[in-house]
Chains A and B, each alone.
Chain A
């Protein structure tokens, strides 16, 4: 992995003119993950922000072959591509399914669990912008506690988000990793590594969303960094069950100190109705998970 650090593939696979929003975290992450995956890749994606980024027929800014599929079927679509390629002896192509949290945590969980249980040879990427952003910021099961959305407009969300890494880890995958567009080299390296591994690989991108989260478009990188600094997001990888912190989270785990979650929460409009009790609950949720990870890193 080391030989790739600071040697990011210079080729661009997204040409200028994508239809993503200004300040979109996903488009930054997508740019770098495509650089890591390179040309010999086929992508499948559901109705989503990424579908919008791919543009309107007959024009697309993306130069990687892509198949659109329905909301519940992203991983099944990857299974079909992988099966078709295997049957035709095209074994040198990386199959990538990439979906938002809505079609990962919610409607797509069945086909994802099925494909993962079959250890389908593909990379599943969830870009988690913590809500149904493409349809206008509605609540998903990835929306954090205390956030208002257009379907939790008055009473902010009362439940913690699902721990999706735990769910995917329970499938005994060879490789899982979390990433953030604020740390593109960490993201790039993890996708380079994922491409070399066989079987189902699960990649999580915490993807800040200016219109959905309510912060200025210039702050995407900062919000992504604050998420890591506060432990809301933990950069890590789990390879054959072995947990390891990476990047800034690794530094935080060894020395330094997490910032309180208020530093992350106070910069986003979606948390403006959050109660003190909810803030404390969120802090406890973050601390509990952080301590769990610290214990696992020492094992």
Chain B
């Protein structure tokens, strides 16, 4: 019998962590992640999760603890939000550069200054180029399921995974979630096998200084230089697309829920207008698509689940036939446009897709976005296309720009 509970996103994440049985957890509380850090403390102190919990003095140390514990052979977990993630920035690179399969939750929140505790995705978007796999969840079920998939993916390609879910919109909102059973999770997720274990049994210096050139070891064998190691990280992220898709398929087969691998589609088969985004705004776009369909507009939705590695081939198939595309983004690459929008354009370059892309910057700092407003945005875009205006546009939704 399935175990269905009505829980928040943070509770779903906590239960997901518990099911994956990490040996070391290190976290520093920050709104809206705090409940996750608290629940995990309770699991560890109550003996429900057999792990060392290091109550660090800051996020830089939280990720450092995970890096070092992972290096001696422990499965690890941490979580943060917003400025906490930014404070980890140096260690995000260090974790990926060390090829450690760390899993982290980023409970998405706007970044200061000025302060906002509310949701957008500027925190994780701004960490795009740190070498982590980034997955965005649309609802609480996807949070717990992605957690279990994330460890399997990370431990197969030795790249850390960031599971991103929207602060408050998901983290503090209750919805029904089916809790996977531990035995099935253990079968799906084999024990962690480190690529290197730092141990007196096999003494080595890890992450020492490299020169621009390759150097030979004492046996005369040329070893990787910095650039070869960087290439291998990129190759691992490229390779991870297949690993992510297969993990999703195996998960769907085992647990009966398919979250789409690199991306998911909603009524896209005959869609003239495709709405897209990452996380909860993509889920909300499905409501907008329903409304548009009821009004006679052939609308569909593509939810970008994995932002890095970018689903470059998947998007061509998913969006290929659309006449117009609307990208809703809770973040921006300042001085240009939404990061997802740029990536989509780059992926479509040189293909048959000539659909204009309208980029809506939306919901920054928790600014409310209603399905009706997504509907209006979609209609405006479609009207522009039907009037023959084929240029790309960027707009700010619900923003009094004066």
Residues in chain A within 8 A of chain B (CB atoms): 39-42, 44, 51-52, 54-60, 62-70, 72-73, 76-81, 83-88, 90, 93, 110-111, 113-114, 117-118
Contact = CB atoms under 8 A, between A and B. Distances in A.
Contact of A83 (B65, B200, B209, B210): B65
Contacts of A117: 57
Contacts of B200: 39-42, 64-65, 93
A167 B117 CA distance: 35
B55 to A, nearest CB: 7
Contacts of B90: 70, 72
Nearest to B204: A65
Contacts of B208: 51, 54-57, 60, 68
Interface of B: 23-24, 26, 51-52, 54-58, 60-61, 64-74, 76, 90-91, 94, 198-200, 202-211, 215-218, 223
25 contacts: A39-B200, A42-B199, A42-B200, A54-B208, A55-B208, A56-B209, A56-B211, A57-B210, A57-B215, A57-B223, A58-B215, A59-B218, A66-B204, A67-B71, A68-B207, A69-B64, A76-B60, A79-B26, A79-B54, A79-B64, A83-B52, A84-B23, A84-B74, A87-B52, A88-B23
A67 B65 contact: no
B256 to A, nearest CB: 33
B57 A110 contact: yes
Nearest to B221: A58
B25 to A, nearest CB: 9
A159 B7 CA distance: 56
B23 A60 contact: no
A110 B58 contact: yes
Q: Which 10 A-B pairs have the closest CB atoms?
A: A80-B68, A114-B57, A84-B69, A76-B61, A80-B65, A87-B23, A76-B64, A84-B72, A68-B207, A84-B74
A59 B23 CA distance: 32
B72 A88 contact: yes
Nearest to B58: A110
Contacts of A55: 205, 208-209
Given A68-B206, A73-B61, A87-B23, A59 B217 contact: yes
A111 B209 contact: no
B64 A80 contact: yes
User: DSSP majority for the A interface?
Assistant: mixed
Contacts of B74: 83-84, 87-88
A76 to B, nearest CB: 4
Contacts of B70: 80, 84
B215 A56 contact: yes
A59 B57 CA distance: 35
Contact of A77 (B51, B52, B68): B68
Contacts of A56: 208-211, 215
Among A73, A77, A80, residue most surrounded by chain B Cβ atoms (within 10 Å):
A80
B204 A44 contact: no
B56 A114 contact: yes
B60 A72 contact: yes
A65 B60 contact: no
A12 B209 CA distance: 23
B344 to A, nearest CB: 34
A69 to B, nearest CB: 7
Contact of A58 (B72, B202, B217): B217
A59 B214 CA distance: 12
Contact of A73 (B52, B72, B91): B91
Contacts of A58: 215-217, 223
Contacts of B76: 84
B86 to A, nearest CB: 14
A58 B58 CA distance: 33
Contact of A111 (B60, B202, B205): B60
A42 B54 contact: no
Given A84-B70, A86-B52, 6 more contacts: A66-B206, A73-B60, A80-B64, A111-B61, A114-B56, A114-B61
Contacts of A60: 204-205, 208
